[in-house]
Amino acid sequence: MVVLNKIYTRTGDAGETALGNGNRVKKYDDRVNTYGTVDETNATVGMARIYAVGDMDDQLAMIQNDLFDLGADLCRPDMANDASAEYPPLRISDAQVDRLEQQIDAMTQAVEPLRSFVLPGGTALAAHLHLCRTVSRRAERLCVALAAEEDVNPAALKYLNRLSDWFFQASRIANDDGRSDVLWVPGANR
C-alpha cells in the first residue's frame, strides 16, 4: 500500500530523482524518460476513457492498471537482484501480454480486413485511441533503446509492442467496427 502524506519533497530540485531501488539519477535519464512516457500513455488512456463504455471501458481500465505495473517494473533496474530484494519488484508478466493478444484477436474477428492504411480519426473515442497508439509506440521505442543499454524485463517490451496493436484494433472497433474508419488515399491531394 502506498501512503503519500506529502506531495512535494524538494529532493528533485537539483534535477535528480530516485529510482525504485533508491538509486538517484538525472531526471533526463533514459530509464526515467521511458517510464515517464509510459505514464504519458496512461494519461492518454484516461482521456480515451471519457468516451468509452461497457467492455471497452473495462479493458481500458485494466490497461491503465497494467501501465502503472509497467512503470513500477521499469523504475526498478536491478533485474538480477529481484529474489534478494527486501520488497520484490513488481514485474509485467507474460499473462498480461497474453490477455492483450486475446483481446486483439477478438477485435480482429469483429472488423473487416483492411485494404488501406487508416488515418487517425473517426469518432472521438477512435481519435483518442489513435493518440494512445502513437504515444505507446514512443514508449516502446524508448524501452527498446533502454534495453539495448540496460536490463529490461522482456515481458515489458512485449507488452508495449502488443499495446499499440491493441489501441489500433480498438480504434477500429470504436469506428463502428471499422465501417467508419478514415482511410488513407495515396496522393489524393496532388
When the pLDDT of each residue in the chain is averaged and rounded to a whole number, the result is 93
Domain encompassing residue 47: 30-75+89-112+127-179
- More confidently predicted of 22 and 39: 39
CA distance 37 to 42: 9
Q: Which of 55, 46, 71, 84 is nearest to 143 (CA)?
A: 71
Q: Is 80 part of a structural domain of the chain?
A: no
114-167 pLDDT, tens per residue?
Answer: 989 999 999 999 999 999 999 999 999 999 999 999 999 999 999 999 999 999
Q: What is the pTM for the complete model shown? A: 0.93
Asked whether residue 62 is assigned to any structural domain, the reply reads yes
Q: What is the reported pLDDT for 82?
A: 60
Range 162-190 burial, b when 16+ CB lie within 10 A, else e: bbbbbbbbbbbbbbeebeebeeeeeeeee
Query: Which residue did the predictor score with more confidence, 66 or 80?
Result: 66
167 within domain boundaries = yes
Residue 83 lies in a domain: no
- Of 24-33, 49-58, 73-82, minimum mean pLDDT range: 73-82
Q: 11 in a domain, yes or no?
A: no
pLDDT at 186: 94
Task: Please provide the DSSP assignment of 100-134 as one string.
Answer: HHHHHHHHHHHSPPPSS-EES-SSHHHHHHHHHHH
Phi, psi of 142 (to 5 degrees): -65, -40
pLDDT of residue 80: 63
Q: Please indicate, yes or no, if residue 143 is contained in any of the structural domains.
A: yes
In a domain, 22, yes or no: no
Confidence at 84, pLDDT banded by 50, 70, 90:
low
Domain tally, the chain: 1
Query: In CATH, what number is assigned to the domain containing residue 54?
Result: 1.20.1200.10
Confidence grade of residue 7 (pLDDT, cut at 50, 70, 90): confident
**188 domain residue, yes or no:** no
